Structure 1
Amino acid sequence: MQWLWAIIIGFVLGLIARAILPGKQHQPLWLTTLFGIVGAILGNAVSGWIGVEETSGIDWTRHLLQLAGAVLIVGLGEMIYTAIRGDKKRQMT
């Protein structure tokens, strides 16, 4: 059941990250979800490194770090996806 929550959270974080990033993103939705999952994992790791992994109440800092990680990964992933996709289009023409 945890994998289902990871997919849902990754999907939501990926969509929010795409909304935050300027311009149009060309990556498919499944890749946005995957990048959101990776961003959430990155945010959790950073929250553990700075000592705010578990707090009483709502973990706002951890959630903001997850979102920041998702924005970072979605942005980098978009650049890589566009570069790969652009190279394939040039080869076909």
Structure 2
Amino acid sequence: MGTIIGWLVLGLVAGFIARAVVPGKDDIGILRTIVLGIVGSIVGGLLVSIFTGFNSFQPASWIGSIIGAIIVLVIYNKVTGRKQVGR
């Protein structure tokens, strides 16, 4: 149960930081923010394993989670057409 709560907290914090860093307003809500952070953590973990050669699939550290969440948020915005600059 502690692991699930840990993932939720990590997802919430990483998602909120990613939303703060990426310019513009996000209307995605708290649940999508948590999912964004969790998916970002997985993406960050994969990137760390690719660049370091570490073959174990582990969630990334806080920094990797935030970077992954930023990447996922930018991709999400491009796919959904949100946050168009100049609109």
TM-score with structure 1 length normalisation?
A: 0.68
Give distance in 2, aligned partners of 1:78 and 1:32: 13
**Aligned counterpart, 1:13:** 14
Distance 1:50 1:79, change over 3 A: closer
**Aligned counterpart, 1:88:** none
Structure with the higher helix share, 1 or 2? 1
Which amino acid in 1 is paired with 2:76?
A: G
Give distance in 2, aligned partners of 1:26 and 1:76: 15
Which amino acid in 2 is paired with 1:73?
A: V
Contact 1:27/1:81 (<8 A) preserved: no
Which runs of 5 or more residues in structure 1 are unaligned?
54-60, 84-93
**Aligned counterpart, 2:49:** 48
Cα-to-partner distance string for 1:7-59 (whole Å, 9 max, x where unaligned): 10000000000000111011111101101100001101111122275xxxxxx
Which runs of 5 or more residues in structure 2 are unaligned?
55-59, 83-87
Q: What is the aligned length? A: 76
Percent sequence identity is: 25
Please state how far the C-alpha of 1:82 moved relative to its aligned partner.
5.7
Q: CA RMSD in A?
A: 2.3
Which amino acid in 2 is paired with 1:76?
A: I
Q: Which runs of 4+ in 1 moved over 6 A?
A: none
